[in-house]
Amino acid sequence: MSVHQKIVEILAEQAVLEPNEVPLTATLEDLGIDSMNLVEIIFAIEESFDIQIPFNANEPEAAGFDISSVTSIVTAVEGLLAAREA
Amino acid sequence: MRRVVITGQGTVNPLGLDVAATLDAMSRGVCAIGPLDIVDVERLLIQIGAQVQGFDPAEHFSKNKLSLYDRFTQFALVAAREAMAQSGLEIDDALGDLSGVILGSAGGGLQTQEDNYRAVFEQGKNRVHPFVVPRLMHSSAASHLSMEFGLRGPCYSVSTACASSNHAMGQAFHLIRGGGASVVLTGGSESMLSFGGIKAWEGLRVMSKDGCRPFCATRNGMVQGEGAAVFVFEEFEHARARGADILAEVAGFAMNSDAGDIVMPNREGAARAMCGALRDGSLNPEDIGYINAHGTGTTANDKVETAAIVDVFGSKADKLMVSATKSMHGHLIGGTGAVELLACIAALRDGMIAPTVGYRAPDPACDLDIVPNTARQQKVTATLSNAFAFGGLNAVLALRSI
């Protein structure tokens, strides 16, 4: 399963949607994801990919992990995976 | 209606091992937050906290007794001894029957739980110390206080997350006011600075890695602390008849529930609790000179609390001093309201308004007089102490000078 597929699966589960209802351009708000869902999503991504995401709910934009859309999350996770391999 | 006053106070917290040291540190704006010294700290993402320093249990307790006391009980007992000594109370059989204990703690004997989980799960041991249960019970500290001082009336613990102490003290106030006791030892204690205690909070993603800066534009979360404060609440006529030194009157208390969200605070619920405490104490908003805020340093709390204060105090909010002493002693979770009440009493007794330290830049959403960085000397005659816990549990105490 690709990074993209796995992240869509995680987002779909939290948003109670089917994976085909999670377009790449969607924002978390579009998907109806609130701050509690978001913390669970971050945890699920960390567990799935065995990575550490620098995320603080008090300043969600500050840590360089871009959560503005599905695509941005995929890109950010790919970045963390690449950094781990390096 | 019976009136309730405070005739003794004691504490062990990151700012000091007694009340005098704590108030001295508050008046100097000392920040007790620093690198955590705990087992497995290298496996934590959050490596700062406010730990009690220089506390040697062997100085206070015999070896036999210590095997019964979790760290949260040790803190409570040492704080209670200071409070009882100050009160000058002598508990005979008759008064013992009319005296009780109500203590707050969110986690109870967490150090005991963690040590013994490590023993059975990590080290594979199949045997634990016989006193694990009596050490870890939430009510353990309350029971040991009752035994130490012979308090044979109502004795129980209260656990409402970060509002535990305020709920406990509010219940003590109600108990005495309603005639159920003449004296109640009350306050709270917490010892959550362990690998598990921090790891659990870390998961919620609300902790700061670099400091607690309530109401500051740069705030990025809470920092945990540990410790206890215990007070002697006493029926006014009883205290007056024996010529006790009265520190302050507990004027009013209100508690309510947002019935909304398990973690997010609620402006309306917080405002309702502050209004309720004022009403219960027959106080007007303009009577209040100082509020010890819940002020956790999270984005959500400080913004919501500011809005709630403005709702209650209107244009008078500008003249009100509001500080968050968690910036100095950290968030003691179930013990926090008790340590924060020390700041309210110091404001009433000495005019010492404890500051909000670590303040760097104004946040338009938190535009109160938060007494930034430096303590202030100003006379006040009534104060509020706010606690707004996870789960929407709000508890506000109003004190008045006497």
B208 vs A contacts (CB less than 8 Å): 56, 58
Contacts of A51 in chain B (CB under 8 A): none
* Average pLDDT of chain B to the nearest whole number: 98
For B361, half-sphere exposure in the C-beta direction (CA atoms, 13 angstrom radius) is 4
Count structural domains, chain B.
2
DSSP B149-160: HT--S-EEEE--
pLDDT single digits (tens) B53-73: 999 999 999 999 999 999 999
Tell me: pLDDT of B228 over 80.
Answer: yes
- The answer to whether residue B382 sits within a structural domain is yes
Does the residue B122 lie in any domain?
yes
* Whether residue B393 sits in one domain with residue B271: yes
pLDDT tens for each residue of B136-195: 999 999 999 999 999 999 999 999 999 999 999 999 999 999 999 999 999 999 999 999
Contact B87, B143 (CB under 8 A): no
Which residues, other chains included, contact B37 with Cβ-Cβ below 8 Å and sequence gap of 6+?
Answer: B51
The answer as to whether B20 is a domain residue is: yes
In terms of domains, do B266 and B236 share one?
no
The minimal CB distance from B220 to the residues A39, A43, A56 is found for: A56
With beta carbons under 8 A apart, name residues in chain B contacting A62. 220
Q: Is residue B248 part of a domain?
A: no
Residues of A in contact with B264 (CB under 8 A): 35
Residue B247 belongs to a domain? no
* In a shared domain, residues B129 and B195: yes
Is B343 in the same domain as B210?
A: no
CB A14 within 8 A of CB A33: yes
The answer to whether residue B144 is catalytic is no
Cβ separation B298–A36 shorter than 8 A: no
Q: Are residues B265 and B211 in the same domain?
A: no
Q: Is B294 a catalytic residue?
A: yes
Average pLDDT for B204-217? 97
Domains of chain A: 3-85 (1.10.1200.10)
Q: Residue B10: which CATH number?
A: 3.40.47.10
Residue B272 belongs to a domain = yes
Shared domain check, B264 and B236: no
So what's the ipTM on this one?
0.86
Q: Which of B187, B207, B241 is the last residue in one of the domains?
A: B241
C-alpha B158/C-alpha B246 separation (Å) is 26
Q: Catalytic residue at B162?
A: yes
Range of the domain at B347: 253-400
In terms of DSSP bridges, do strands B4-12 and B227-235 run parallel, antiparallel, or are they unpaired? antiparallel
Q: Is beta strand B376-377 parallel, antiparallel or unpaired with respect to B352-353?
A: antiparallel
Last residue of a domain, one of B187, B208, B241: B241
Residue B246, domain member (yes or no): no
Q: Please, are residues B79 and B71 in contact by the beta-carbon 8 Å criterion?
A: no
Rounded distance, CA B207 to CA B203, Å?
9
A52 touches chain B (CB under 8 A): yes
**Selected catalytic residue, list B138, B329, B331, B366:** B331
Asked if B340 contacts B397 with a C-beta cutoff of 8 angstroms, the reply is: no
Q: Which of B247, B221, B231 is nearest to B326 (CA)?
A: B221
Annotated active-site residue in B31, B162, B212, B366: B162
In this structure, the answer to whether residues B234 and B266 fall within a common structural domain is: no
Q: Which residue from B minimizes the CA distance to A62?
A: B220
Question: By the CB < 8 Å criterion, does A56 face chain B?
Answer: yes
